[in-house]
Amino acid sequence: MEIFGREYDAESERQKGVEEFYRLQHINQTYDFVKRMREEYGKLDKAEMGIWECCELLNELVDESDPDLDEPQIQHLLQSAETIRKDYPNEDWLHLTALIHDLGKILALPSFGELPQWAVVGDTFPLGCAFDESNVHHKYFKDNPDYKCPAYSTKNGIYTEGCGLDNIVMSWGHDDYMYMVAKANGTTLPSAGLFIIRYHSFYPLHKEGAYTHFMNEEDVENLKWLKIFNKYDLYSKSKVLVDVEKVKPYYVSLIEKYFPAKVRW
């Protein structure tokens, strides 16, 4: 019983940590903050390296918002990618998307600004409109300066219905950063791949069905792929480790197909 008790305490401590993380995120992620981050990181002047090199760099990081992940990040990336590869063998773009979807987490490393965790990971949500009730730990939004701004307090806020998610300012983190990097470096991944990278943490949309009034037809099509991807992203955090050296040549060939050799970050 004692062992069980210790595990339970550790779990409850961890949950408290996750809640504190969301309190900070909900207070600090404002429309103006995101605009500043997009401008700063849109310069892509932090580093120049290949995609695989970045996968290896990511191993230095622990994600505090993820209650289940104790393995190195590259294991989670490869577990997702390998499981998808088995079920969708012909969609090589989806295998690569799985591998790279979390690379934006390098924002937490010193050479990329060492941003606090609340500006790197966690569920994402739109800014410039009302905070939907489906957002996790919604109560903390009341201390966000945007909460009291009349222009941002309606369902549509500064946007129009059906304007397309591409026109919505999302909270800043690894999703939007990696999307910016991929797009600016001329990736040839299809639009569904970029959509997955950009919105995989947008749980209010793909889990709760909130904010769908902003979607256009292309978003609706891409969301189908994101929902497929998300099953693997969530449930492939297995205890079976992938043999990195064995699968590396395959993923390097995909990187060469869809990305330049050197990428600006």
Rounded Cα gap, residues 49 and 250, in angstroms: 19
Residues 6+ apart with CB under 8 A from 8: none
Check the annotation: does 138 bind a ligand: no
Q: Is 6 annotated as a binding residue?
A: yes
Query: Would you say 233 is a known binding-site residue?
Result: yes
Q: Is 102 annotated as a binding residue?
A: yes
DSSP string, 66-133: -TT--S-HHHHHHHHHHHHHHH-TT-HHHHHHHHHTTGGGGGGSGGGT---GGGTSS---EESS---T
Answer whether 158's CB lies under 8 Å from 42's CB: no
Q: Which helix (H) or strand (E) holds 48?
A: strand 48-49
Residue 148, classified by CB atoms within 10 Å of its CB into exposed (0-12), middle (13-18) or buried (19+), is exposed
Per DSSP, 63 falls in state -
Is 174 marked as binding a ligand? yes
Query: Is 122 labeled as ligand-binding?
Result: yes
Is 95 known to sit in a ligand binding site? no
Q: Is 146 annotated as a binding residue?
A: no
Distance CA 172, CA 41 (A): 10
- List b or e across 85-123, with b for residues whose CB sees 16 or more CB atoms inside 10 angstroms: beebeebbbbbbbbbbbbbbbbbbbeebbebebbbbbbb
Q: Is 64 annotated as a binding residue?
A: yes
Tell me: is residue 76 an annotated ligand-binding position: yes
> Which residues are documented as binding site for Fe cation?
76, 101-102, 174, 200, 233
Instruction: Could you list the residues known to form a binding site, using ranges.
Output: 6, 63-65, 76, 101-102, 105, 122-123, 174, 200-201, 233
- Specify binding-site residues for substrate: 6, 63-65, 105, 122-123, 200-201
